[in-house]
Structure 1
Amino acid sequence: MKRESFGSRLGFILVSAGCAIGIGNVWKFPYICGAYGGAAFILIYLCFLVILGIPVLVSEFAVGRGSHVSVAKCFDRLAPEGTCWKPLKYIGIIGCYMLMMFYTTVGGWMLYYCFKSLRGDFVGADTEAVTGAFSNMMGDAPTMILWMVIVCVIGFIVCFMGLQNGIEKITKVMMSALLIIMLVLAVHSVMMDGAGEGIKFYLIPDFQKIRDAGLGNVIFAALSQSFFTLSIGIGAMLIFGSYLDKSRSLTGEAVSITVLDTFVALTAGFIIIPACFSYGIQPDAGPSLIFITLPNIFAKMSGGALWGSLFFLFLSFAAISTIIAVFENLIAFNMELFGWNRKKSVLVCAILVILLSLPCVLGFNVWSGIQPLGEGSTIMDLEDFIVSNNLLPLGSLGYLLFCTRKNGWGWDNFIAEANAGAGMKFPKSLRGYVAYGIPAIVIVIYLKGYYDKFVGMGTGVLAGWMIVALALLGFVFYCAFGTRKRKR
C-alpha cells in the first residue's frame, strides 16, 4: 500500500503545529510567565526552546521521515540487528493512547462551554452561578460522556477522510480560524479599560519575582515548559515526519512549528492577562481560570456572549487539532501492526478510545473516591502524570540516544536525513551536545519532576516513587545499551 503524504508544506506545518498547540498554551503559559517575572521568563523560555525543544523535535521528525512509518514500526525498521531498541516503541504507543484517555475529556469541556456561551448561559450570571456551572458539569457524568463522545466522533470522522482530504484540509481551516479568532480576542482584550496594567505585568521584566521564586525554580519552569509545549517524546510528531518528502530540511520546518506554537502561547497571554487586570482579578487560578474566572469576566463584559463564545471556540479548535493529530497516530499503529485498512482502524480506534476515556470522566463523579496520587487527586491526574512526567521525557531521551549512538540509527544517518532538502541545516558540530548535553538535561527534568511531585508526601513515599523513576529510566538505557544474541 502506497504511503500517504501531505499535499503541501503549509499543510504539514499547520497539522504539526496543531498537534503541539493545546490547552497548556492557553492557561499555563500566561500564568507561569506572570508568576516568574514576565518578559524575563519569556527570554529564558525562548532560549530553552532553541537549545532543547527544536533539536528533540528535529530528531523525532528525522526518525519518522527516515523510516516512513509511525513509532509502532520505526525502531523495527531503523535499528541494527542484535540491538534492543525495538521495545522503545511502547513508550509512543502507550503514550498516545494514554494522552487521549484524558485529553478527549478536556476537549469535551471546551466544546460544551462553547455551546453554553453561544446559548447565553453566562450572560448576567453572578459569580456563584458561574462557579456552580463548572461544579455541576464535573458532577454530571452523562453530560461529560456525551461531549467526550462528540469530540471523539468529530476527530475520527476527520481522520477517516484521510490525510490530505481530511486531516490536512480540515486542520488548515481550523488553525487559520484559530489564529484569526486569537488576534481578534487579543486586540479586544488590550483595548479594555485598565488593560495597561495587565500588559505591564505580562511584558515588563520583574526581577523581584525571579528572586522571590528562586532563580533555579524559574529556570526549571522555563526549561520544563519549553520541553513539554511541543508534544515531543511519544511519536505524536514523528508520524507527520513519516508523511514528508525530502524537498525541505527538517530544522527549518521544526523552527516554523516552534514559532507558531510560541506565537499562540504569547497571544493567549494578551487575551487572558489584560482581561483579568481590567476586572481586578489576578491570573493565577490555573485550570479554573478558564472555566470560572474568565466566564465571570465575560458575564460582566459588554457583548460577553459573543466574546465568550469566540474564546471557547478558539479553545475547542486548540484541543481538537491535537486530538485529530494523535488519533492519526493511533490509526497508523493498527494499519502498520495488523495490516488493516483505514476504515477498519478508525472504527476499532473510535470504540477503544471512547471506552478508555470513561475512567477519566467518571473520576470526577462516580469514581471520585479514587485518588491515586494522594488526597484530592483524580484519575486524570494519574494519566497526566504518566504522560507528562514519564513518557514524554523518556521518549525524548530515547530518540536522542537512538539518533546519536553507533549501535542505534547513528549520527551520520540522522544528519543526512535532517539536512536533506532545501532550507536551514542542523549543525554537525552539535553532536556532543545532542548526544550528551540534552540527554543530561532531560534526565534532570525527569527526576526533578518526580521529586517535586512527591516530596511533600513523606520520605518513604518519595523514596518509593524515585525507585520507580529510576527503574523506568533503566528501561530506556537497557534499550540503548543492551544487546541481543543474533539468531543463527
Structure 2
Amino acid sequence: MDAKREKLSSRLGFIFLSAGCAIGLGNIWRFPYVVGKYGGGAFVLVYLFFLIILGLPIIVMEYAVGRGSGKSVARSFHILEKPKQKWHIFSYVAMLGNYLLVMFYTTIAGWMLAYFVKMASGEFHGATTQQVKEAFQTLQQDPLASVFWMILVVLIGCGICALGLQKGVEKITKVMMGLLLGVMLLLVGKALSLTNAMEGVTFYLVPDFDKLLQNGLFDAIYAAMGQAFFTLSIGMGGMAIFGSYIDKQHSLTGEGVRVMALDTFVAIMAGLIIFPACMAFGVAADSGPGLVFVTLPNIFNVMDNGQLWGTLFFIFMNFAALSTIIAVFENIVSFSMDLFAWTRKKSVLLNILILIVGSIPCAIGFSVLSGFQPFGEGSAVLDLLDFLVSNVIMPLGSLVFVFFCTRSFGWGWKNFLQEANAGEGLPFPKNMRWYISYLLPVIVVFIFILGLWDKLKLM
C-alpha cells in the first residue's frame, strides 16, 4: 500500500462521502413516486428487505476491495488479483462508467443550479402554471444556457477536488451534507404544517397491501429491487475509492449499514416534503424532472413565503446533486492519480477539459441534438447515457465484484471476509456464502435483463 496515499481524517467524513455518493436526485424525484404508486409503507418494507439482501453485500464488497488494495478501482484489481489473471480489465469499464455518469449528471445538476438562481431571484413570482412549465422547456432548449450551467458545475466539483482529500472533498462534503440534512428537516416541518398534509403522509407511508397487489406484485418487487440496487451507486468502484481512504478500525458491514440508513432516511424524508405539499395543493406527485422543475415550483408559487421555501428546496436539491458529483469526481481524479502516478493538480486540470467536452452532447441533447432520440419519441442523449450506466455497467460491475470476492479464481471468500471483518463492529455473516455466491448473482442478472427489456421495448 502506498504510504503517501491520502486518508480521510474522520469516520464521519467517510460516512458522509459514501452517503453523498449514494444520495442522488433519484432519491428525491423517483423514490417517493414509486412508494406512492405501490402501496406506500407496504412498498417501503419490500424495498428495505431488498436493500439489505441486495445492496448491503455489494457495498461491503466494494469497500473491501478498496481497503484491501489501498487504491481506487483503477488499480485495485491489479493489486488483489493473482498473477496472470485478467480481473483488472474491468477497471477500465468502471472508469468509463464514472465518466459517462458525470457526462449526464452535470447537465441535470446545471439545471438545479439555474433553478436555484431563478427561485432566489423571484423569477417565478406571479408566473402562471404554463409559464413555469415553459421556463423549464426554455432552459432545456437553450444550448448556451445548458452548457454554461454544466461548465459551472464541472468547475465547482473539480475545484473542490483540487483542494485535496481532507481540506477539499471531505471538509466541504461534511458541511454540505450537514446543511442538506438541516434544510431537509426544515422543509419537512413546513410541508407537514400545510392543510391536508396528513392525507399526504397517510398516502405515502401507511401500508396498503391491496394497492401493492392492484398495481402488480411482480412489478412492485421489481421496482423495489431496482430502487434498492441503483440507489447506492454500486458496481463502478464509487464506494471502493472511499474504502481505500479508511483504516481498519471498523468493520465494513457496520459502515455499509450506516451509509444505507442515511441514504434511505433522505429518500423517505424527500417524500415527506413532496406528498404533503402535493396533497395540500391538489397536485399529482409526478416522477422525474417534471416533479422538481415544474410541479414543485408551481406549488411554491402559490404557497405563503413560497420564494423562501422554494429557494431552500433548491439549496437542498443542489446539495444532493453536488454531493454525488464531488464523490464521482474524486473517483475520476483518483483514477488518473493511481493509474498514471499523476499529481492531484495535474489530474484535476486534465479532467476538467475531458469532463466539459464529454458533457456537451448531453447539455445540447434537448436543442442542437434533439433529433437524436435513441429510445423513441421524447428520449435524448441523457436517456442513452443513463441507460448505459444504470442498466448495463452498474449491474455487470456488481457481478464482477460478487464473483471476485466469492470465487477461488478471484480474490476469494476468505480474503474478502478477513478484510470486511477487520476492526470493531458488525461482522459480515459467514453463513451467507451460498446466498452471496449463487443466488445474489441470479438476482442481479434478473435486474439486468429486465432493465434491458424495459428500455429496448421502447425503441
Tell me the TM-score range normalised by the shorter chain: over 0.9
Distance in 1 separating the partners of 2:325 and 2:248: 27
Structure 1 CA distance, aligned partners of 2:445 and 2:148? 40
* CA 1:27–1:263: 2 relative to 1, 3 Å: same
Distance 1:61 1:285, change over 3 A: closer
Q: Which runs of 5+ in 1 are unaligned?
A: 458-488
Letter in 2 for 1:353: L
Give runs of aligned pairs for residues 60-459 of structure 1, distance below 5 A: 60-457=62-459
What number of residue pairs does the alignment pair up? 457
Deviates more, 1:235-244 or 1:279-288: 279-288
| Whole-Å separation in 2 of the counterparts to 1:65 and 1:436 | 24
Distance 1:348 1:384, change over 3 A: same
Deviation at 1:282, TM superposition (A): 1.5
Aligned partners of 1:120 and 1:304: how far apart in 2?
A: 10
In structure 1, C-alpha distance between the alignment counterparts of 2:287 and 2:436, rounded to whole Å: 37
**Shift of residue 212 of structure 1?**
2.0
Percent identity (aligned)? 55
Q: What 5-or-longer segments of structure 2 have no aligned partner?
A: none
Give structure 1 regions of 4+ aligned residues with deviation exceeding 4 angstroms: none
- State TM-score, norm by structure 2: 0.98
SS of the residue 2:227 aligns to: helix
Point out the more displaced range, 140-149 or 378-387.
140-149
RMSD: 0.9
Cα deviation for residue 195 of structure 1 reads 1.1
1:65-91 superposed Cα distances (whole Å, 9 cap, x missing partner): 000111111111111113221211122
1:454-478 Cα distance to aligned partner (Å, 9 max, x none): 2354xxxxxxxxxxxxxxxxxxxxx
Provide the C-alpha distance between the structure 2 equivalents of 1:319 and 1:11, rounded to a whole number of angstroms: 18
Q: Which moved more, 1:280-289 or 1:363-372?
A: 280-289
By how many angstroms is 1:416 displaced? 0.2
Deviates more, 1:351-360 or 1:201-210: 201-210
Q: Distance in 2 between matches of 1:13 and 1:211?
A: 36
Query: Where does residue 470 of structure 1 map in the other structure?
Result: none
| Matched-pair contact (CA < 8 Å) for 2:56–2:257 | yes
Once residues 215 and 233 of structure 1 are traced to their aligned partners in structure 2, the CA distance between those partners, rounded to angstroms, is 27
Distance in 2 of aligned mates of 1:176 and 1:195: 26
Give 1:194 deviation, angstroms: 1.3
Shift of 1:206: 2.0
Cα distance in 2 for partners of 1:101, 1:238 equals: 21
Q: Alpha-carbon deviations, 1:216-274, whole Å to 9, x = none?
A: 11011001100000010001111000011101110000000000000000000000010
- Cα distance between partner residues in 1 of 2:139 and 2:414: 53
Of 196-205 and 37-46, the range deviating more from structure 2: 196-205
- For residue 162 of structure 1, report the CA deviation from its aligned partner: 0.6
**1:315-355 CA distance string (max 9 Å, x none):** 00000010000001111111111111010000000111010
Q: CA deviation at 1:202?
A: 0.3
How far 1:392 sits from its partner (Å)? 0.6
Secondary structure (helix, strand or coil) at the match of 2:30 reads: helix
Please, what TM-score do these two structures have when normalized by structure 1?
0.93
The amino acid of 2:105's aligned partner reads: Y
Task: Give the CA deviation at 1:207.
Answer: 2.2
Q: Distance in 2 between matches of 1:388 and 1:288?
A: 20
Contact 1:122–1:298 (Cα < 8 Å) also in 2: no
Q: Deviations over 1:397-435 (max 9, x none)?
A: 100000000010000000000000011110111111111
**Kept in 1: contact 2:200–2:279 (CA 8 A):** yes
Write the distance in 1 (CA, Å) between the matches of 2:233 and 2:150. Answer: 21
Partner AA of 1:231 in structure 2: S
